[in-house]
């Protein structure tokens, strides 16, 4: 029977209930914006964990922007994750790749500033919970996992409300653990799993993130 989530917050609460049984130590919750943010916020709140973003920008092949030659994943510094087969098939030179990366890096940095996040939360040695509101192909999530793995976390847990069985299996193979509440076959559009599934404006994402900012201590208290 298909699980129907009331909205993204409801999906986050259901994921949080599952994750709360894991006994996690020092977790950090990382959301793929925009849709993953309200889901991740409920998880971070339940686990008393910090909330941050991982912004993924597709590196579209020159002349074929729909074809992903790789992805740029924000970090300090950002990580480049390449699809070697596509790079080779398109005959992309190092110079052409560098130009793609430079262009998307500007947009990535612009988006992180727009969301009010100066620099990513450190993940080295920590349990990282990567969250989205679902995964159809999982392309952005896979790029995020590959990039985060390079930063030496203790473990990576992928938490998503719904995904096709094939995508869920692929993500489970890449992560240390997968929590996916619904894996229907056939998989319809992600919106079919939600009663309320609106597009999220940047302003709503910013408002959620601000609720997780540490308060500034009073003068003289450090």
Tens-level pLDDT at each residue, the chain (222 residues) = 565 899 999 999 999 999 999 999 899 999 999 999 999 999 999 999 999 999 888 888 888 876 778 888 887 788 888 888 888 888 989 999 999 889 888 888 888 888 887 678 889 999 999 999 999 888 889 989 988 998 999 999 999 999 999 999 999 999 999 999 999 888 888 889 999 999 999 999 999 998 887 544 344 443
Token couple for 222: 């450090």
pLDDT at residue 215 in the model: 44
Domain ranges of the chain: 8-54+117-210, 56-114
Please, which residues have CB within 8 angstroms of residue 101's CB and are 6 or more apart in sequence?
Answer: 59, 72, 80
pLDDT at residue 14 in the model: 97
Residue closest to 101 by CA, chosen among 130, 126, 81: 81
Give me the architecture of the 8-54+117-210 domain, per CATH: 3-Layer(aba) Sandwich (3.40)
Domain topology for 56-114: Ybab; Chain: A; (3.30.1310)
Q: Do residues 90 and 67 make contact, with C-beta atoms less than 8 angstroms apart? A: yes
Global pTM reads: 0.85
pLDDT at residue 221 in the model: 40
- Would you call the peptide bond into 129 cis, given omega within 30 degrees of 0 as the criterion? no
φ/ψ (deg, to 5) at 23 = 65, 45
pLDDT at residue 2 in the model: 61
* Spatial separation of the C-alpha atoms in residues 161 and 106, rounded to whole Å: 31
Token couple for 111: 């988006």
- Would you call the peptide bond into 191 cis, given omega within 30 degrees of 0 as the criterion? no
pLDDT at residue 160 in the model: 98
pLDDT at residue 85 in the model: 84
pLDDT at residue 118 in the model: 67
């Amino acid at each position: 029977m298909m699980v129907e989530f009331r909205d993204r917050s409801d999906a986050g609460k259901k994921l949080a209930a599952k994750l709360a049984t894991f006994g996690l130590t020092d977790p950090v919750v990382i959301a793929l914006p925009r849709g993953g943010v309200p889901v991740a916020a409920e998880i971070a709140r339940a686990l008393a964990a910090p909330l941050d973003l991982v912004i993924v920008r597709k590196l579209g092949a020159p002349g074929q922007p729909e074809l992903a030659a790789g992805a740029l994943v924000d970090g300090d510094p950002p990580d480049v994750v390449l699809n070697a087969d596509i790079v080779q098939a398109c005959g992309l030179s190092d110079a052409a790749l560098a130009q793609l990366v430079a262009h998307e890096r500007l947009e990535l940095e612009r988006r992180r500033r727009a969301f009010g996040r100066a620099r990513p939360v450190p993940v080295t040695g920590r349990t990282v919970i990567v969250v989205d509101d679902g995964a159809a192909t999982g392309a952005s999530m896979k790029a995020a996992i590959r990039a985060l793995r390079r930063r030496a976390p203790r473990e990576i847990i992928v938490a998503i409300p719904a995904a096709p069985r094939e995508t869920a299996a692929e993500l489970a193979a890449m992560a240390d653990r997968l929590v996916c509440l619904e894996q229907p076959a056939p998989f319809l559009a992600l919106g079919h799993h939600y009663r309320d599934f609106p597009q999220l404006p940047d302003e709503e994402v910013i408002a959620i993130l601000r609720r997780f900012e540490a308060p500034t201590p009073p003068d003289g208290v450090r």
